[in-house]
Amino acid sequence: MNFNKRKLLVFPLGQPIGNFYTTTMKSDELYSLSKADIMRIAEDEIDGLLYDGVQRELNQKKVKKIVKYLSQPDATFPNSIILNLNMNYFIKSYEENEKNYIEFIKDENTFSIIDGQHRLEGLKEANLNIDVPVSIYTNLRIDQQQEIFTRINSEQTKINPSVTIYQESTGKYNTPRKFAAKIAISFGVDRKSVWNQKIKIVGKKDMYSKNGVISLKSFYEPILDFIYNDDDYYIVREKIIESNNRPKLIDINYTKEKYIFWEFYVKGDSASVYKILNNFFDACKLIFPKEWEEKNKESILQKTTGYYALMSVFKKLYVKGISEGDLSLKYFENMMSPLNNLDGKINAKNYSSSGLQSSKKLYDEFAKWIFPDSELKEDFFD
């Protein structure tokens, strides 16, 4: 009986679980040899069937994100796709002329994917056929495959999100993420800022955040949300690269009322954004002097819960202020003056200490005083 055979140059490695092989394969070929496995994963998600392999849903949102990433001219996948070579299709492993090979039958069931199906599906949808590194195990039991998957996805060291954001601030391309990161970091290191030493730039207290109460990630996210929809990151980044790193040439328009900082970003005007936000934060300290005291450890105003509520207030005040031509410190102070009666009361006992629902509860309280008869009070981070 003639089978469609494949001879593959490999590099064998010995580890406690047993031998496995590393090599590279074209993504299209790899997809065709694991197509049945990918289809079973997709079928699970749609029909709720019990997949008889490694339990992993194919997340279409993640696949779409990978497709967007692959549109970048500097896209790369250095990590191996991890496979199990099903024994029914394995023929032999051998050495020839001091090189190692494995031989197997080519079939859509040849490989089951232990880790990397989203990358492979993304490459397929992006219509890219590139070299990908692979690690190939042979004849692993289902429980062994699951154990490898779990180890890869739960026990490897995760990078602190704040560190990732800090690294964005030093990136080559002037993306919205870089723009927002630089502004957020500036508030933490500017000695005149009310947030000086209070933003944990790498996610933990250090010499730049001795009084850290909020992570860079939490501080940065609302600022980024005021610039654009981050789901468009790779679209915008590609346009940045095409325009030779000049955001002003980007032909994307966002609603001014929703993405209030987009035009500042396009103009590269971070100084104005910083000034406007600084006016607002200075006003916050004037309105809430007790909440801003270092000795007040009960206050949640400067923590994520309070900060998110404040930033939602800021957005409403910005829209009103820009229409009136006034975003001064005095404007923000006057608008928020009714909140002075809450000073010293913004703690976990009254508003809980974490989660968006707690932030919304606090925002609703703020809005009740600032916008008693206005529709502006209705929305929280709309």
* 99-121 confidence digits (pLDDT tens): 999 999 999 999 999 989 899 99
pLDDT for residue 3 is more than 70? no
User: What is the pLDDT, as a whole number, of residue 354?
Assistant: 72
User: What is the pLDDT, as a whole number, of residue 283?
Assistant: 98
pLDDT for residue 53 is more than 60? no
User: What is the pLDDT, as a whole number, of residue 1?
Assistant: 46
User: What is the pLDDT, as a whole number, of residue 272?
Assistant: 98
User: What is the pLDDT, as a whole number, of residue 376?
Assistant: 52
In the numeric block, which tokens belong to residue 317?
Answer: 């005040």
pLDDT in tens, 175-220: 999 999 999 999 999 999 999 999 999 888 888 888 899 999 999 9
Specify the pairing of strand 111-115 against strand 131-138: unpaired
The stretch 270-279 carries a mean pLDDT of: 98
User: What is the pLDDT, as a whole number, of residue 288?
Assistant: 97
Q: Report residue 57's pLDDT band, with 50, 70 and 90 as the boundaries.
A: low
Percent of the chain with pLDDT over 90: 64
CATH (residue range 5-155) = 3.90.1530.10
The stretch 133-154 carries a mean pLDDT of: 85
Percent of the chain with pLDDT over 70: 90
Burial classification of residue 251, based on how many CB atoms lie within 10 Å of its CB (0-12 exposed, 13-18 middle, 19 or more buried): exposed
pLDDT for residue 2 is more than 60? no
For helices 270-287 and 329-336, give the axis angle rounded to 10 degrees: 40
Average pLDDT, the chain: 88
CA 172 vs CA 64, 224, 237, 244: distances in Å:
24, 18, 11, 11
pLDDT for residue 256 is more than 50? yes
For helices 329-336 and 304-324, give the axis angle rounded to 10 degrees: 110
Q: Where in the chain is the domain with CATH 3.90.1530.10?
A: 5-155
User: What is the pLDDT, as a whole number, of residue 48?
Assistant: 43
pLDDT for residue 34 is more than 60? yes
User: What is the pLDDT, as a whole number, of residue 150?
Assistant: 77
Q: What angle do CA 355, 187, 227 make, to 5 degrees?
A: 65
pLDDT for residue 346 is more than 50? yes
The stretch 144-163 carries a mean pLDDT of: 79
Are the CB atoms for 170 and 179 separated by under 8 Å?
A: no
Burial classification of residue 288, based on how many CB atoms lie within 10 Å of its CB (0-12 exposed, 13-18 middle, 19 or more buried): buried
